[in-house]
Structure 1
Amino acid sequence: MNQLHALQKFTTIVADSGNVHEIMQYKPTDATTNPSLILKTIFIPQYKHLISDAINYGKKNGSSEKDKISQASDKILVNIGSEILKYIPGRVSSEIDARISFNTKLCIFKAKKIINMYEVLGIPRSKILIKLAATWECIQAAKELEKDDIKCNLTLLFSFAQAKACAEAGVFLISPFVGRIYDWYFDNNFIKKYHPSNDPGVLSVKKIYRYYKKYNYTTIIMGASFRNVDQILELAGCDYLTISPVLLEKLQRNSDPVVRKLVIGDTATRSTSIITESNFRWEHNQDQMAVEKLSDGIRQFSSDQDKLEKILHSMF
Structure 2
Amino acid sequence: MNQLELLRKFTTIVADTSDIDSICKYKPEDATTNPSLILKAVNLHENQKFLNQAVEYAKKKGGSKQEQLLNASDKILVDLGVEILKYIPGYISSEVDARLSFNQDKCIVKAKKIVEMYENQGVSRKRVLIKLAATWECIKAAEELKKDNIFCNLTLLFSFAQARACAESKVFLISPFVGRIYDWYIAQNLMSNFPHNEDPGVISVKKIYNFYKKHNYKTIIMGASFRNVKQILLLSGCDRLTISPLLLKELESNNTVFNRKLIPPTTFIKPPVSLSEEEFRWEHNQDEMAVQKLSEGIRNFGKDQILLEKIISKLM
User: In which range does the TM-score fall when normalised by the shorter chain?
Assistant: over 0.9
What is the CA deviation profile of residues 108-142 of structure 1, one whole-angstrom value per residue up to 9, with x for unaligned ones? 00000000000000000001000000000000000
Give the letter for the 2:84 counterpart.
I
Asked if 1:138 corresponds to 2:142, the answer is no
Asked if 1:69 corresponds to 2:69, the answer is yes
Q: Which moved more, 1:187-196 or 1:117-126?
A: 187-196
> 1:197 touches 1:203 (CA, 8 Å); kept in 2?
no
Asked if 1:92 corresponds to 2:92, the answer is yes
Asked if 1:198 corresponds to 2:190, the answer is no
Q: TM-score, normalising length from structure 1?
A: 0.98
How far apart, in 2, do the equivalents of 1:239 and 1:71 lie? 34
Q: Which residue of 2 aligns with 1:40?
A: 40
Q: Which residue of 1 aligns with 2:165?
A: 165
Q: Which residue of 1 aligns with 2:299?
A: 299
How far apart, in 2, do the equivalents of 1:206 and 1:152 lie? 22
> 1:196 touches 1:231 (CA, 8 Å); kept in 2?
no
* Percentage of matched positions with identical amino acids: 61
- Count of paired positions: 316
Asked if 1:211 corresponds to 2:200, the answer is no
Q: TM-score, normalising length from structure 2?
A: 0.98
Structure 2: stretches of 5+ with no match in the other structure: none
> 2:171 touches 2:219 (CA, 8 Å); kept in 1?
yes
What is the CA deviation profile of residues 205-247 of structure 1, one whole-angstrom value per residue up to 9, with x for unaligned ones? 0000000000000000000000000000000000000001110
SS state of the match for residue 192, structure 1?
helix
Structure 1: stretches of 5+ with no match in the other structure: none
Once the 2 structures are TM-superposed, how far is the Cα of residue 280 of structure 1 from its aligned partner?
0.1
> 1:142 touches 1:171 (CA, 8 Å); kept in 2?
yes
> 1:41 touches 1:47 (CA, 8 Å); kept in 2?
yes
Asked if 1:279 corresponds to 2:279, the answer is yes
Once the 2 structures are TM-superposed, how far is the Cα of residue 49 of structure 1 from its aligned partner?
1.9
Extract structure 1 runs of 4+ deviating beyond 3 A. 193-197
How far apart, in 1, do the equivalents of 2:37 and 2:303 lie? 13
Asked if 1:20 corresponds to 2:44, the answer is no
Once the 2 structures are TM-superposed, how far is the Cα of residue 50 of structure 1 from its aligned partner?
2.0
Once the 2 structures are TM-superposed, how far is the Cα of residue 272 of structure 1 from its aligned partner?
5.3
> 1:139 touches 1:169 (CA, 8 Å); kept in 2?
yes
How far apart, in 2, do the equivalents of 1:125 and 1:248 lie? 28
SS state of the match for residue 73, structure 1?
helix
How far apart, in 1, do the equivalents of 2:195 and 2:283 lie? 28
